[in-house]
């Protein structure tokens, strides 16, 4: 089966928008999604890149916000700006790897994205992460504790390092085989690559 590798960080709103589209895309293309939680801040540091939301050109930064609103409207995705943004996602992304290791990632993923981009949760705080997960029927404190363990820390570091080595400079980034695609607005190219069209 064809595979889409999805490198993301929960703190990236465009990763959230991409995530909302991926299941239907994967179904149409007969592909599976490989979720690759990485630390976007680590990628930025390694590559010299920075978030568009700290763009020094004021008019350009305003346009980024306008474009985000347009995408939200276009996709009809539930969205609310998180008042705590930007959030340090180090603990959160480690906890994502813990959830993968505990085989609860699917439920974790849905709960966290919902809390981050519709619920305004302060997900840089471990107690908030645990509360969100517990309210979703998961063992929140247990998963958060596992996220502080060496296995989760090493997994996040390894995934982030791999992303940088493969040319990733931001989120969301997708791979179909060795072909890389950056941005929520490149999913058409991803689908064409999966179905044998041009764009690979």
Cα 150 to chain centroid, rounded: 22
d(C-alpha 18, C-alpha 100), whole Å: 20
For the beta carbon of residue 176, count every other beta carbon within 10 angstroms: 21
pLDDT at 61: 86
Instruction: Give every CB contact of residue 22 below 8 A, 6+ residues apart in sequence.
Output: 4, 6, 33, 187
Collect the ranges in the chain with pLDDT lower than 70. Answer: 197-200
Query: What does the pLDDT look like over 11-20, one tens digit per residue?
Result: 999 999 999 9
Query: pTM of the full predicted structure?
Result: 0.95
Which residue in the list 12, 51, 80, 136 is annotated as catalytic? 12
Distance spanning both ends of the chain, measured CA to CA:
17
Alpha-carbon distance 192 to 29, whole Å?
Answer: 9
What pLDDT, on a 0 to 100 scale, did the predictor assign at position 1? 87
pLDDT at 197: 64
Task: Report domain extents, the chain.
Answer: 2-194
- Identify whether 65 is a catalytic site residue: no
Please say whether the structural domain 2-194 has been given the CATH code 3.30.1330.200: no
């Amino acid at each position: 089966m064809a595979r889409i590798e999805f490198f993301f960080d929960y703190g990236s709103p465009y990763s959230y928008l991409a995530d909302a589209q991926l299941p239907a895309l994967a179904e149409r293309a007969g592909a599976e999604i490989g979720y690759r939680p990485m630390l976007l801040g680590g990628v930025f540091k390694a590559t010299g890149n920075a978030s568009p939301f700290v763009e020094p050109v004021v008019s350009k930064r305003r346009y980024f916000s306008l474009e985000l609103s347009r995408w939200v409207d276009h996709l009809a995705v539930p969205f609310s700006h998180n008042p705590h943004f930007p959030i340090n996602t180090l603990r959160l992304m480690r906890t994502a790897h813990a959830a993968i290791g505990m085989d609860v990632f699917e439920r974790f993923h849905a709960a966290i994205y919902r809390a981050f981009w519709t619920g305004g949760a302060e997900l840089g705080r471990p107690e908030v992460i645990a509360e969100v997960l517990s309210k979703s029927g998961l063992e929140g404190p247990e998963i958060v504790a596992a996220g502080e363990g060496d296995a989760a820390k090493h997994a996040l570091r390894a995934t982030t390092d791999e992303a940088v080595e493969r040319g990733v400079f931001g989120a969301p980034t997708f791979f179909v085989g060795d072909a890389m695609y950056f941005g929520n607005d490149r999913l058409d190219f991803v689908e064409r690559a999966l179905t044998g069209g041009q764009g690979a």
